[in-house]
Chains A and B, each alone.
Chain A
């Protein structure tokens, strides 16, 4: 779709949507959200960018092939379960780590978060693959 309005606004919108998707992803542990829904938002951002500016800029912007991104997500999710091997607890047990980045500021990191980031990557990768394939046909 080659309209001036869309082409002007979409790069901004894409950035906003991706940031929002990350907010949703990180909020997901305690609030509504999570890797899947966040991934859908990010994937629609890239799809929109593809509609407005063409498929090639999206592929350039992503740098990695979307399928590789999805595979990396799969790897991350699978490995998030394997980490519990070293702790002597069953597969996929949630393990937490609270590094103090500044005085009194703790960042809770966990294997569920790693799993969720993996899901986010799988959803983004696979949906962007499909969306770009469909947009390329036009």
Chain B
């Protein structure tokens, strides 16, 4: 047998076991999901196994973040190949922070699912599906290869298809069709753009692309590719004018499922935009295309908040607030200075936590009242004082009142728009926040302050009888998230440091490239 010299193609150094933290957020949920499907009949055990794995996942993501904080971006190329030929996983601050946050959010969702997902739904794969969804989301945050990013998109999109039809009522299928149709178009556009990109530059490794594209002018095919990426990711992120699918589908699945979607899925779209227009295509990040994205962001922020004011269904209201929050992120990305990116990353973390919490609190309300319609909800401050307090607190977080986590990124973003003389953005953020105060205030006034309407009394009494032993447990994940956002709000320094380091890594791509190719190149 002829021996082939692999020196030029393979990594010759030993990979330390500690580097495996970069893969743990993907491998742990994947293996756990497989085990849960194998034992699909013992649904009673599913929540415990899943929660254990998710707790391990949080630990691993935290260790990864700490490692990145100590040593800078971390990379591992699969199969012992050298980049750009092997598929690289690259964890920079941005990826590591978002991985930790999404793992936290999924843990809370799984905890909520203990009381909410029936054994039939568990047999249909509730826990395996939320785990594979986390696999896809974490994979997207950590991958350093743009085609691989597409694959992770597919992983979480397919899991979300499974979750959205869980239960299989007519209304759910209606929402699922809209959701699936738009997801498929968006991912197909993403794939086309990726193919085009490969045709142009012959590589899909993000760090490699960054090196190749950086000295180029923003013209010709690069404009088309960047435009396609902007379109595809904006669709996934639910940006103006392509956000209609989100409020049309997010109120149909199980509440715990919509909490998961609201927390994670749109943020992956926003993350991809952030990644694409900073590290992968830095020239596109300095071009007129950012002007387009800026106005898309302004439109998203304002239309989302306007939509929220008009809703009577609590989940649709939250869906529109989610759209508005995406608008803030787009404004931040399009301004693109280090401060704006810091605020964007901070806001993404805040948004993952608060959106999950808002939808879960809607679930708690549904548990107690059997409805989420603001026209019939009433008098909850009388019999559910703790829930009222929680809702009010979460409302304050979402509106961006100090001392909660929503205040700081908004404050920084507003001051940065003023500094960059992007006054339209300043206006959009303030106006949108103002409208969200109105819509959430209205929800509180109707659902909690308004005395119990006479014909609702029987309904409430009937619903109270149906409460399971788990109904107290439902508060726990919401409370957990509430504590998290409060801590972040009171002591924002920690997250701010991390976000600003993340932003620094996006503005100056050298550390990212060095992590993949080694210090020499």
* A92 contacts B78, C-beta separation under 8 Å: yes
* B17 contacts A72, C-beta separation under 8 Å: no
* A65 contacts B40, C-beta separation under 8 Å: yes
* B34 contacts A72, C-beta separation under 8 Å: yes
A68 is an interface residue with CB less than 8 A from chain B: yes
Note all chain B residues with C-beta closer than 8 A to A72.
Answer: 34, 38
Q: Given that A85-B17, A85-B20 are known contacts, is A90 also in contact with B30, CB under 8 Å in the complex?
A: no
Cα A78 to Cα B34 in complex, Å, equals 9
Note all chain A residues with C-beta closer than 8 A to B77.
Answer: 90
Chain A binding surface SS class: helix
Residue in contact with B15 in the complex, picked from A68, A78, A89, CB distance below 8 Å: A89
* B79 contacts A78, C-beta separation under 8 Å: no
Chain B binding surface SS class: helix
Q: Given that A68-B37, A91-B76, A93-B79 are known contacts, is A74 also in contact with B15, CB under 8 Å in the complex?
A: no
Q: What interface size band does chain A fall in?
A: 20 to 34
Residue in contact with B79 in the complex, picked from A65, A75, A85, A90, CB distance below 8 Å: A90
Chain B: CB-nearest residue to A72: B38
B35 is an interface residue with CB less than 8 A from chain A: yes
Residues A63-100 near B (CB distance < 8 A): 65, 67-68, 70-72, 74-75, 78-79, 81-82, 84-85, 88-94
Q: Given that A68-B40, A71-B38, A75-B38 are known contacts, is A90 also in contact with B31, CB under 8 Å in the complex?
A: no
Chain A: CB-nearest residue to B31: A78
* A81 contacts B40, C-beta separation under 8 Å: no
* A88 contacts B17, C-beta separation under 8 Å: yes
Note all chain B residues with C-beta closer than 8 A to A67.
Answer: 37, 40
B45 is an interface residue with CB less than 8 A from chain A: no
Cα A79 to Cα B28 in complex, Å, equals 10
Among A65, A79, A85, A90, find the residue whose CB has the most chain B CB atoms closer than 10 A: A90
Bitwise, B32-57 to A at CB < 8 A (1) or not (0) is: 01111110100000000000000000
Note all chain B residues with C-beta closer than 8 A to A85.
Answer: 17, 20
Residue in contact with B78 in the complex, picked from A68, A71, A78, A91, CB distance below 8 Å: A91
* A75 contacts B15, C-beta separation under 8 Å: no
* A71 contacts B27, C-beta separation under 8 Å: no
Q: How many residues of B contact A (CB 8 A)?
A: 25
Note all chain B residues with C-beta closer than 8 A to A90.
Answer: 11, 15, 76-80, 86
* A91 contacts B23, C-beta separation under 8 Å: yes
B14 is an interface residue with CB less than 8 A from chain A: yes
Residue in contact with B37 in the complex, picked from A70, A89, A94, CB distance below 8 Å: A70
Q: Given that A88-B14, A89-B15 are known contacts, is A78 also in contact with B76, CB under 8 Å in the complex?
A: no
Cα A81 to Cα B76 in complex, Å, equals 13
Note all chain A residues with C-beta closer than 8 A to B70.
Answer: none
Note all chain A residues with C-beta closer than 8 A to B79.
Answer: 90-94
Cα A13 to Cα B128 in complex, Å, equals 35
Chain A: CB-nearest residue to B14: A88
Chain A: CB-nearest residue to B77: A90
Cα A65 to Cα B38 in complex, Å, equals 9
Cα A85 to Cα B11 in complex, Å, equals 15
* B78 contacts A74, C-beta separation under 8 Å: no
Residue in contact with A89 in the complex, picked from B14, B35, B36, CB distance below 8 Å: B14
Note all chain B residues with C-beta closer than 8 A to A92.
Answer: 78-79
B291 to chain A, nearest CB (A): 41
Note all chain B residues with C-beta closer than 8 A to A68.
Answer: 37-38, 40
B16 is an interface residue with CB less than 8 A from chain A: yes
Residues B272-295 near A (CB distance < 8 A): none
Note all chain A residues with C-beta closer than 8 A to B16.
Answer: 88
Cα A67 to Cα B128 in complex, Å, equals 12
Note all chain B residues with C-beta closer than 8 A to A74.
Answer: 30, 33-34, 37
* B80 contacts A93, C-beta separation under 8 Å: yes
Residues B75-126 near A (CB distance < 8 A): 76-80, 86, 89
Chain A: CB-nearest residue to B39: A68
Chain B: CB-nearest residue to A76: B34
Cα A82 to Cα B34 in complex, Å, equals 14
Note all chain A residues with C-beta closer than 8 A to B86.
Answer: 90
Note all chain B residues with C-beta closer than 8 A to A71.
Answer: 33-38, 40, 128
* A75 contacts B35, C-beta separation under 8 Å: yes
Note all chain A residues with C-beta closer than 8 A to B17.
Answer: 85, 88
Chain A: CB-nearest residue to B17: A85
Residue in contact with A78 in the complex, picked from B27, B40, B89, B128, CB distance below 8 Å: B27
Cα A43 to Cα B372 in complex, Å, equals 46
Cα A82 to Cα B20 in complex, Å, equals 9
Chain B: CB-nearest residue to A86: B17
* B11 contacts A82, C-beta separation under 8 Å: no
Note all chain A residues with C-beta closer than 8 A to B14.
Answer: 88-89
* B31 contacts A75, C-beta separation under 8 Å: yes
A78 to chain B, nearest CB (A): 5
Chain A: CB-nearest residue to B78: A92
* B15 contacts A81, C-beta separation under 8 Å: no
Cα A90 to Cα B86 in complex, Å, equals 11
B118 to chain A, nearest CB (A): 19
* B38 contacts A78, C-beta separation under 8 Å: no
Note all chain B residues with C-beta closer than 8 A to A84.
Answer: 80
* B80 contacts A78, C-beta separation under 8 Å: no
Bitwise, B281-324 to A at CB < 8 A (1) or not (0) is: 00000000000000000000000000000000000000000000
A36 to chain B, nearest CB (A): 15
Residue in contact with A75 in the complex, picked from B34, B76, B78, CB distance below 8 Å: B34
* A82 contacts B38, C-beta separation under 8 Å: no
3 nearest CB pairs, A to B: A71-B37, A75-B34, A93-B80
Instruction: Contacts A78-B27, A88-B16, A92-B78 known; list 6 others, CB within 8 Å.
Output: A67-B37, A74-B33, A74-B37, A75-B31, A78-B34, A84-B80
- Between A and B, 21 residue pairs with Cβ closer than 8 Å are A70-B37, A71-B36, A71-B38, A71-B40, A71-B128, A72-B38, A74-B33, A74-B37, A78-B27, A79-B31, A81-B27, A85-B17, A88-B15, A88-B17, A89-B15, A90-B76, A91-B27, A91-B76, A93-B78, A93-B79, A94-B79
